[in-house]
Amino acid sequence: MLAYAIFLYVTEMLLNTFALVVHIMFLFILSKTKLFLNSQRYYIGNVILANIVTIVFRYPQLVQILAEQPLYSDELNTVITEVHNLADSAVTNMLAQITIFVDVTVVIMGRDETALSVAIVLCVLMWAVGYYIYTVYNSMFEVLEVLNLICWFTFFGLIYIGRTKYRQLTNGNVNNKYKLSVCLRTLAVLKVMAVCSAIKNFVCINDILVLNAFIRPYKDVFGEQIASFVYDLTLSVYSSVVPFLMIWSHEQMKKTYGRLYSTNGPKLEVVSIEKKPRFVARNVVGDVITHLRPQEEEAQHFAHLQSSWNTLRVPGRPIMVQ
């Protein structure tokens, strides 16, 4: 094997190792972050699990490529390739995103959170339906484009509906408002996942088109190796970068990451005579909530108390105020 090919595959293996560590770290941070509904935590964990399966099942392929000979039986190699391609498939990723969008829609519309047993069944169905679509329709780019469009339209529709309903519930049920705020924070994570997935799918699909249209017809071995490396490198970079961006997009996950991985060394306190900037607090949809006049703050406070009392009090005789 040529030296450049060895360099490319070793680079890919190192990137995959880094991505594997990053994904395990992300799952740990996700388990420690409270501002997630349990069903949504399972769905996002399922997407991360698919990336981990992709990385793990790539290792046997890389070892055989570097050894320049088959090390396993044909049946085992077939299973390894199919599992790797299924976990890596854009179909599986987009089905997971659609499932999360549907679950968020149900919560935004006021329904109860999906039960854990139902969430687990849906995660299994994701893989089953993804396997069927992958084996039957994977060569049809139209299917991928339809799924991608569904993801994008659903995503932007949910952001609009969620923000509108959150503002309408200013004096509403505290429990419903909490669920809405959690869903909007989850959508911030999904936004990163959707954008990065779209970029990854764009690069990979065009790489396959170039490979089939301009490289394989001319039997260009070197060009095929480069195209294959670009495809695999795109997956490795995607797996390495996306977890960090997802953590950074979620305020609570970012705090959890800082708390778990911050250094314990002494901190220097810097005293400045400059005027400190005024603190401005915003809610989850970006509205400023610290510049209310005293009368507005008082009215909003008592409106919240009255709403909570009407929601939680036990029906019975009216309270007599003397």
Position 296 scores a pLDDT of: 53
**Strand ranges, E, within the chain:** none
Angle at the Cα of 230 from the Cα atoms of 226 and 232, rounded to 5 degrees: 115
Give the three-class secondary structure for 112. Answer: coil
Distance, in Å, from the CA atom of 94 to the CA atom of 291, rounded to the nearest integer, reads 41
Q: How far apart are CA 224 and CA 8, in angstroms?
A: 13
Q: For position 199, what pLDDT does the model report?
A: 82
CATH of 3-259, one of 3.30.379.10, 1.20.1070.10, 1.10.10.10, 3.90.1150.10: 1.20.1070.10
Q: Which two tokens stand for residue 275?
A: 């005027």
Structure confidence at residue 144 (pLDDT): 66
Length of the chain: 322
Q: What is the pLDDT of residue 314?
A: 53
Residue identified by tokens 């390894």 is 80
Instruction: Write the CB contacts of 252 (distance below 8 Å, at least 6 apart in sequence).
Output: 33, 34, 35, 185
Which residue's entry shows tokens 């195209």? 227
Three-state SS at 284: coil
Residue percentage of the chain with pLDDT more than 90: 0
Those residues of the chain that have pLDDT short of 70 are 1-2, 35, 137-145, 147, 158, 162, 166-174, 262-322
pLDDT for the residue 231: 82
- Taking only the tens place, the pLDDT of each residue in 179-204 is 777 777 777 777 787 788 778 878 87
Domain edges within the chain: 3-259, 278-314
Q: Give the C-alpha distances (Å, rounded to integers) separating 184 from 14, 102, 178, 284.
A: 35, 14, 10, 7
User: What burial letters (b/e) apply to 280-295, b meaning 16+ CB within 10 Å?
Assistant: eeeebeeeeeeeeeee
